[in-house]
Structure 1
Amino acid sequence: MTFHWQRKVRFRDCDPAGIVFYPRYFEMMNDLVETFFDDAIGWSFGAMHGEDGVGVPMGQIEARFTAPSRLGDMLDWRLTLSRIGGATADLVMVAEGAGARRLRATGTLVCVDVAAMKSCRWPDRIRPRLTEYLEESET
């Protein structure tokens, strides 16, 4: 299954050339991951970091930017998981606007105990929800 999310490019996202300043895409990807966990997995960052004492920092990320995005563009984001390990999950994130791919990124989330700052296994109640977004084909 694929998680879908839309985000409009705001003035704050753009550089003087009028296109999205590339670090802003990484902020958008963080918003995508947070929204994915909240809306699709049912595990908000508030509950995750608060009562569960768990975090999901990005351990690795790589992005390929293929076309610029401009102020006012509506970006259609897709997120899928390509692998789920004991304490990690590899994901693929794609943003498109007006039918054209803007970027494709791959990354690895690491499930960590926030008190110890060490990796920990995905909680038993969360792993089955993650597997619903596991796809073998490339997004």
Structure 2
Amino acid sequence: MFVHRRDVQIQWGDCDPANIVYYPRYFAMFDDSTSIMFEAAGFSKQDIIHKYGLVGIPMVDTRAKFYIASTHGDWIAIESRVESFKRSSFEVTHKVFKGEALAIEAFETRVLVGRHPDDPGKLKSAPMPEEIIARFTRG
């Protein structure tokens, strides 16, 4: 399985008045991490959208479990991987490490979306391309 890991330094603007990362900031980091993971695998988001005629790859479900807080100046590592593929969706997990300790586990479901063939004003899920599945499953 393809796994991407990146280091992130917590910035002042990520934190609340108690100097703890305000939890929605993590979801922005996870969104970036998914895009960066796809780019590292050879599929930039823009390339996928243009090549397969998609409108986007929206997140339709997300959640996280928080174990260890981070504060301004801390370095964290975000490890991202696609856990599974379905016809038009895929599941991503993000594990955040603070040093060697697991700080956060996060989960998201994304769907490939294109224009509906009968009504271009509407959206419709699109099938997951085999070349993407192959790249992520063989590592």
Tell me the TM-score normalised to structure 2 length.
0.85
Contact 1:83 1:89 in 2 (8 A): yes
Q: Alignment partner of 2:19: what SS?
A: coil
Is the counterpart of residue 103 in structure 1 residue 104 in structure 2?
yes
DSSP 3-state at the match of 1:43:
coil
Contact 2:4/2:40 (8 A) holds in 1: no
The secondary structure found in structure 1 opposite 2:37 is helix
Superposed CA offset, 1:10-58 (max 9, x none): 1111111101000000000001001011112x11122233454322211
Would you say the 8 A contact 1:84–1:131 is kept in 2? no
Secondary structure of the 2:130 match is coil
Q: Which residue of 2 aligns with 1:119?
A: 125
Q: How does 1:17-36 map to 2 (within 5 A)?
A: 17-36=18-37
Q: Does 1:131 align with 2:132?
A: no
Q: Which residue of 2 aligns with 1:136?
A: none
| Larger-Rg structure | 2
| Structure 1, unpaired ranges of 5+ | 134-139
**Among the aligned pairs, what percent are the same residue?**
30
Displacement over 4 Å in runs of 4+: none
Rounded Cα–Cα distance in structure 1 between residues aligned with 2:43 and 2:59: 17
Instruction: Tell me the TM-score normalised to structure 1 length.
Output: 0.85
CA distance in 2, matches of 1:89, 1:65: 23
State the secondary structure of the residue aligned to 1:125: helix
Runs of 5+ unmatched residues, structure 2: none
